[in-house]
Amino acid sequence: MKHNIEILSSQEIDKNKWNKLVNDCNNGLIYAQSDLLDSLADNWDAVIVGDYDAILPIPHRKKWHISYSYSVPFVQQLGLIGKSEFSYAEKIKSQIQKKFCYGTIQLNYGNVAIASQFGATPKTNMYLSLQQPFSVLEQTFKKEISRISNKLITNNWSVKKNIPIKDCMHLYRRLLGHKLQNIREEDFERLVRFCHKNKNENLQYFTRAVVNPSGEICSVAVLLRDNKRIYNIINASTAEGKKTSANYLLYYECLKEFSELPLLFDFEGSSIPGIASFYNKFNPLKEFYFIWHYNALPFPLSLIP
């Protein structure tokens, strides 16, 4: 079966058809929503297959007069959404590399076959199903999570809602900014603006913070939510928060709050062993998304890694 495949700018796409497909498909995650991409990406184009039978967003920038695809900060998975057919995958690859000769594209967990065809690298993501009572969910956690969380509560620690997102971002940057060299100040500001200005009811954000008995913030999280998942976008703990394991209480209470909803809690995984070890204590399920890095530039630029 032949499919018309074209690459359109974000201004040219039919946003209603686009977002409907993202909402309706299992692997249409929040990162591919047009409102979020409009807010967070420098620029983005899209592969459109047929009459929005399948779509693939391509964030892009330009350097040395070369347009290249790139990974948007705070965006984990994009990839092909909709009808995924092996027959047109190679054509999609060819068209992307023709327009964007170099770069990186994040494929989603539903793109296993295409990722293999493209030679993409798998990355681990972790998630929990919230569609169960918290009493059942809690039984699967490492026992130290409940023990430490309840001890902190007994000692007058608590989780606060609706902490200003700017305060969360400030703490995150202060504590982890030295490790975030690829994230610009503008990228943080874009996320804050998206959360403040977003009017799409299908996209929501939440902030949660653990405070000590003196009311000082020791651990924060910024969460996004769509019709499928709650996404763990940002998390940071102060020195006191780390010493007291305040993050246990933070996620313990978040999972309790959102339990019995028909959603997944997406930890977003991590390639950092210490963070991965922490999330593993909640006994999450695992899935793989994929990083496709390519170089179709002419020689000698083709030697750029």
Given a cut of 90, whether residue 257 has pLDDT beyond it is: yes
User: What CATH number should be reported for the domain holding residue 180?
Assistant: 3.40.630.30
Domain containing 35 equals: 5-125+289-303
pLDDT in tens, 279-288: 999 999 999 9
DSSP assignments along the chain, one per residue: ----EEEEETTTS-HHHHHHHHHHSTT--GGG-HHHHHHH-SEEEEEEETTTTEEEEEEEEEETTEEEE-PPTT------EE---HHHHHHHHHHHHHHS-EEEEEE-TT-HHHHHHHTPEEEEEEEEE--S-HHHHHTTS-HHHHHHHHHHHHTT-EEEE---HHHHHHHHHHHHGGG-TTS-HHHHHHHHHHHHH---TT-EEEEEEEE-TT--EEEEEEEEE-SSEEEEEEEEE-HHHHHHTHHHHHHHHHHHHHTTSS-EEE----SSHHHHHHHHTT--EEEEEEEEEEE-PPTTGGG--
pLDDT of 200 reads 81
Residue 282 belongs to some domain of the structure: no
pLDDT of 299 reads 75
Residue 105 belongs to some domain of the structure: yes
- The pTM assigned to this predicted structure is 0.93
Residue length of the chain: 305
Residue 279 belongs to some domain of the structure: no
Domain check: are 113 and 148 in the same one?
no
What is the number of structural domains in the chain? 2
Given a cut of 80, whether residue 139 has pLDDT beyond it is: yes
Q: In this predicted model, which residue has the larger pLDDT, 64 or 221?
A: 221
pLDDT of 180 reads 79
Domain check: are 116 and 150 in the same one?
no
Residue 209 belongs to some domain of the structure: yes
Domain check: are 72 and 147 in the same one?
no
pLDDT in tens, 62-75: 988 889 999 999 99
CA triplet 153, 154, 157: central angle to 5 degrees? 40
Average pLDDT over residues 100-124: 94
Residue 271 belongs to some domain of the structure: no
Domain check: are 102 and 135 in the same one?
no
CB 225 within 8 A of CB 201: no
Model confidence at 202, in pLDDT bands (50, 70, 90)? confident
Residue 284 belongs to some domain of the structure: no
Domain check: are 257 and 135 in the same one?
yes
Model confidence at 2, in pLDDT bands (50, 70, 90)? low
Domain check: are 135 and 106 in the same one?
no
Domain check: are 23 and 115 in the same one?
yes
Domain check: are 140 and 227 in the same one?
yes
Domain check: are 58 and 17 in the same one?
yes
Residue 273 belongs to some domain of the structure: no
Average pLDDT over residues 6-25: 96
Residue 225 belongs to some domain of the structure: yes
Given a cut of 80, whether residue 112 has pLDDT beyond it is: yes
Domain check: are 56 and 91 in the same one?
yes
CB 220 within 8 A of CB 235: yes
Domain check: are 141 and 258 in the same one?
yes
From CA 289, how far away is CA 71, in angstroms rounded? 13
Domain check: are 135 and 255 in the same one?
yes
Given a cut of 60, whether residue 1 has pLDDT beyond it is: no
pLDDT of 86 reads 67
Q: In this predicted model, which residue has the larger pLDDT, 101 or 181?
A: 101
Percentage of the chain modeled with pLDDT above 90 = 82
Given a cut of 60, whether residue 193 has pLDDT beyond it is: yes
Average of per-residue pLDDT values in the chain: 93
Model confidence at 303, in pLDDT bands (50, 70, 90)? confident
| Residue 101 to residues 63, 68, 107, 220, Cα–Cα distance (Å) | 12, 6, 17, 39
Given a cut of 80, whether residue 34 has pLDDT beyond it is: yes
User: What CATH number should be reported for the domain holding residue 43?
Assistant: 3.40.630
